[in-house]
Amino acid sequence: MPSRSTSASDAGPALDPLVVNDFGRRLRAWYRRSARDLPWRNTRDAYRILVSELMLQQTQVSRVVPKYHEFLKTFPSLAHVARATPDRVTEAWSGLGYYARARNLHRLALRVTSDGTRRRAKLPSEPHQLRELPGIGAYTAGAVASFAYGKRAALVDTNVARVLSRVFAPALSPKRPRDLTAIWRIAERSLPRTGAATWTHNQALMELGALVCTARVAHCHRCPVRVVCASAGDGSPG
Ligand code: SF4
């Protein structure tokens, strides 16, 4: 097993570039072969991606898919959200729960509306700009910047944190805030060099955490990155 870390702190462990490159190549190749066809993966529209990311917080993919289509039929753009009442947006969100997400989406739409008639609304493209908007945290900012705008931006949700810690730094626990900071550093350092490859890389990290390296069990025998993973064969949740 190649060495992949020499020290750990909030700055994150030092990573072996050869291992990082091999990990990324294997991960992205697997994604191209095995990814699920989900509707938000077929668009680069920032608003649609934002809606999907907000809906997927705390909610299973199978429940989100029909609601995503339905919501976008009612509100095809961020400007449509801005022109609606908060209650109308919340109503369209019904069935998904966690209604603060819908209320934040409405507040966000008002914030980014660029003219008095509420006919144009555009999300910014940089993670630090996105994070200033209501309801957008570090993960969602990275997701919108990467998936909509092709930015070389990292993202870490629970699936990604689990995969990256198991592969590169098993001593880190995503449940400890200090370790989570270190895992963010790993996510940033393991990004591919270009924004175009980053789209696939980030989607693949999330997909591996959802389908293979899951919270309940690590399916190491069918994992595309097992030869570079520090936890391969363990098979137990970290
Ligand atoms: S080899 Fe096992 S522990 Fe490592 S990423 Fe794959 S499934 Fe997870």
229, 233, 238: which is closest to 219 by C-alpha? Answer: 233
The pTM (predicted TM-score) of the whole model is 0.91
Write the pLDDT tens digit of every residue in 79-126.
Answer: 999 999 999 999 999 999 999 999 999 999 999 987 667 777 889 999
CA 167 / ligand 1 centre spacing (Å):
7
Residue 236 has what pLDDT?
58
Q: Is the CB of 225 under 6 A from ligand 1?
A: yes
For CATH 1.10.1670.10, the residue range(s) in the chain are 17-36+151-228
DSSP output for 190-230: TS-SSHHHHHHHHHHHHHHHHHTB-SS-B-GGG-TTGGG-T
23, 3, 6, 18: which is closest to 163 by C-alpha? Answer: 23
Q: Are 131 and 141 in contact (CB under 8 A)?
A: yes
- Give the length of the chain: 238
DSSP output for 209-220: HHHTB-SS-B-G
Q: Is the CB of 210 under 6 A from ligand 1?
A: no
For CATH 1.10.340.30, the residue range(s) in the chain are 45-149
Which of 206, 211, 220 should be mutated for ligand 1, with most atoms under 8 A from CB? 220
Q: Is the CB of 169 under 6 A from ligand 1?
A: no
Write out the CATH class of domain 17-36+151-228: mainly alpha
CA 52 / ligand 1 centre spacing (Å):
27
Question: What is the homologous superfamily of the domain 45-149 according to CATH?
Answer: Hypothetical protein; domain 2 (1.10.340.30)
Query: In the predicted model, what is the mean pLDDT of the chain?
Result: 92
Which ligand 1 atom is at minimum distance from the Cα of 231? Answer: 3
Residues 6 or more apart whose Cβ sits within 8 Å of residue 54: 101, 104, 105, 135, 140
Which ligand 1 atom is at minimum distance from the Cα of 230? Answer: 4
Percent helix, strand and coil across the chain, each to the nearest 5: 55, 0, 40
Per annotation, catalytic residue among 53, 70, 126, 207 = 53
pLDDT (mean) for 30-52: 97
Question: E strand or H helix at 8, and its extent?
Answer: none
Which of 160, 205, 221, 231 should be mutated for ligand 1, with most atoms under 8 A from CB? 231
Q: Please give the residue that has the higher pLDDT: either 71 or 11.
A: 71
Distances 40 to 69, 118, 201 between C-alpha atoms, Å: 10, 25, 16
Distances 128 to 134, 137, 140, 145, 222 between C-alpha atoms, Å: 13, 10, 11, 10, 37
Residue 102 has what pLDDT?
97
**Has 70 been annotated as catalytic?**
no
CA–CA distance, 87 with 84 (Å, rounded to integer): 8
CA–CA distance, 176 with 183 (Å, rounded to integer): 10
Q: Is the CB of 226 under 6 A from ligand 1?
A: yes
Burial class (CB in 10 A: 0-12, 13-18, 19+), 132: exposed
Q: Is the CB of 219 under 6 A from ligand 1?
A: yes
111, 43, 50, 42: which is closest to 75 by C-alpha? Answer: 50
